[in-house]
Amino acid sequence: MKRSGLVRTAASLSMLAVALVFLYPFFWMFLGSFKANREIFDTSLFWPLKWTGEYFAILFRGEYFSFGRSLLNSVFIALAQGIGATLLATMAGFVLGVYRFRSRNLWLGVGVLVVLVPVQMMALPLFIWVNRIGLFDNPVGVILPGLVSGLGLLFFTRVFRQIPRELLDVARIEGASEGRIFLTVLPLLKPFLIAFGFAHFVLAWHAHVIPLLILHSDTARTLPLSLAALFGSSLNSPQAVLMAGSTLGMIPLLVVFGLAYPQLKSALQEFVAS
Amino acid sequence: MALEKSKFRVSWGRICLAAPFFALLVVFWAMPLFQGLRLSLESDTLWGASRFVGFKHYLSLWNDHRYWKAVLNTALFSAATVTLVLGFALLAAHALTLCWGRIRGPLTFAFMVPGLCPPTALALLFLLVFHGKEGLLNQWVIQPLGFETINWLSDPDYILSAVVIQAVWRWTGFMTFFLLCALNARPRDVLDAAAIDGVNAWQRFTKITLPLITPTLLFCLVYLVVDCFAQFAGSYILFGGSGGTSDAGLLLVSYAYQKAFVGGGFGSGAAVSLSIVPWLAGMLFLIAFVPRTFWKGGET
């Protein structure tokens, strides 16, 4: 369809304005990492009065919490959950999407149930249970519950259903085992794997309730938890450290997001179009 | 498309592939659920032996006005968030399809950044935007329009709106992205033909576009509803697990947390969590699984 230039310009300019509003808080957050408390709470002030790296230095010296350690914990937990959940969901989704057998709908139904009753709703019983099996204050206790994604199962079941039948037939006639067929098909689904893995990575990165309950010691805490503890501690502590930590904490997410974005887009468009 | 109907033949390959997922599901989803159910029927003893008390916790919730406040808040928060986010996202996605091609990608990316923002940073941004006197919202919107400044974070009439605005800011970008992908996947020729035949823009939207993007809309709806019900980080950081002034910002997950860890009652905390399960599950089931077209996908 031809659009008149006027409509295009108007839409572009207004969306640019909206994007600025959306991003403004981030500029403020970044600039806030150079400001004294007094300046931060004076929201009419945009630029810091003095550019100082002091607050970043405090952050790295670990005066309030060990930034490097928390970041490492976060990266480890989120990566393990993103990769692990994708792997498990593809394996199970492959079986449910490609083969037809009696109990197939039963297993899909179980997947639906997991979507309907999200694990965050059960944070408290989960905490007690994880405690009982001895994984309290252990990153494994956060990672393992995060590997079960009902949405992932349903997503990949549907994705595998779209694999051309001929391909699977050829593989079967060649006498390939199920595991072999699975490994052959997997590379074809790269955009879907990346899309789901990324979405799960982000959810795991932001997870708050479950890590808050399970991870107790300072060295085990994830970055969001450490930052939240710092925020809650006192308003007299320099807020700029918090701003600096939050700004730096977004970098891994932005990098992963930037890398995944093109794949994300093609996967979603294919999924939606099918 | 399925390959074959297996005839009572046990296929070890398939079992090995599917087993890890379902094994973890049993250990880390079914077990906690079961434990929670049991816990909610027991007395609030912290570590010692607890007694079986039946439905006592559920019954006391029934008479607990704070519980109903939390239910109402959660319902209001979810309804407002979902409506606003989907409305804005639909608008934004349409506007993006009209934008210059070169800036469309970067713009979509920019809208999604708030969704990547950690909850702590959200709390800071709250100060910036919702601060009593100097907050941006007051300075740039409320005052120029000639209203009294609003103390968003302590005035019970406005706390919930502040939480909603934050959720809208946070999720609109992601939903816009999903919807934009759905809009791009529409068959061009059908839309063009309709335009040439004189079908007006509104009818093209309701009769062609809307049915095509319904599955994506449903997906967004489920995602948002679950996120709203499980919303914790935002209100936890803002109100430290309490509900803010006169509980105006009390949500169900924070109430369960409060019951269990501040009040020291694991049993009643579990009862709060589990009491929402049937509501949430029933609602999601109605939204997402009754229109079967979404999950059935290829087969329909």
What pLDDT digit, counting tens, does each position of B123-180 carry?
Answer: 667 767 776 666 777 777 777 776 777 777 677 777 788 888 888 888 898 889 888 8
Would you kindly state where each structural domain of chain B is located, as residue ranges? 52-294
Nearest to A203 by CA among B170, B164, B116: B116
Residue A154 lies in domain: 65-273
Interface contact B253-A209, CB threshold 8 A? yes
3-state helix, strand, coil in chain B (%, to 5): 75, 0, 25
B220 touches chain A (CB under 8 A): no
Does the residue A56 lie in any domain? no
Tell me the shortest Cα–Cα distance from A247 to chain B, in angstroms. 8
Does the residue A18 lie in any domain? no
What pLDDT digit, counting tens, does each position of B219-248 carry?
Answer: 788 778 877 877 766 666 666 656 666 677
B-interface mutation test, from A117, A200, A247, most B Cβ less than 10 A away: A117
3-state SS, residue B251: coil
Number of domains in chain A: 1
Interface contact A128-B114, CB threshold 8 A? no
In A, minimum Cα distance to B20 occurs at: A88
What pLDDT digit, counting tens, does each position of B191-200 carry?
Answer: 888 888 888 8
Does the residue A46 lie in any domain? no
Interface contact B28-A95, CB threshold 8 A? no
Per-residue H/E/C for chain A: CCCCHHHHHHHHHHHHHHHHHHHHHHHHHHHHCCCCHHHHHCCCCCCCCCCCCHHHHHHHHCCCCCHHHHHHHHHHHHHHHHHHHHHHHHHHHHHHHHCECCCHHHHHHHHHHHHHCCHHHHHHHHHHHHHHCCCCCCHHHHHHHHHCCHHHHHHHHHHHHCCCHHHHHHHHHCCCCHHHHHHHHHHHHHHHHHHHHHHHHHHHHHCCHHHHHHCCCCCCCCHHHHHHHHHHHCCCCCHHHHHHHHHHHHHHHHHHHHHHHHHHHHHHHHHHHC
CB contacts < 8 A, A to B, total 290
Tell me what pLDDT residue B188 has.
82
Question: In this predicted model, which residue has the larger pLDDT, B295 or A163?
Answer: A163
* Ordered mean pLDDT values, 10 residues apiece, chain A (274 residues): 74 88 83 79 74 82 82 92 95 90 87 82 84 89 91 88 83 84 87 86 84 85 83 69 85 85 78 68
Within 8 A of B240 by CB-CB distance, chain A residues are: 232
What is the ipTM score, two decimals?
0.85
Does the residue A195 lie in any domain? yes
Residue A219 Rama label (left phi>0; alpha psi -120 to 50; beta)? alpha
Q: How far is CA B63 from CA A128, B66, B67, in A?
A: 27, 9, 8
Please name the member of B92, B191, B240 whose beta carbon is closest to the beta carbon of A232: B240
CATH number (domain holding residue A204) = 1.10.3720.10
Tell me what pLDDT residue B297 has.
44
Residue located via tokens 């996202």: B89
Question: In this predicted model, which residue has the larger pLDDT, A143 or B279?
Answer: A143
Is pLDDT of B295 > 60?
A: no
CATH of domain B52-294: 1.10.3720.10
Is pLDDT of B6 > 60?
A: no
Q: How far apart are CA A146 and CA A120, in angstroms?
A: 10
Tell me what pLDDT residue A3 has.
59
Does the residue A170 lie in any domain? yes
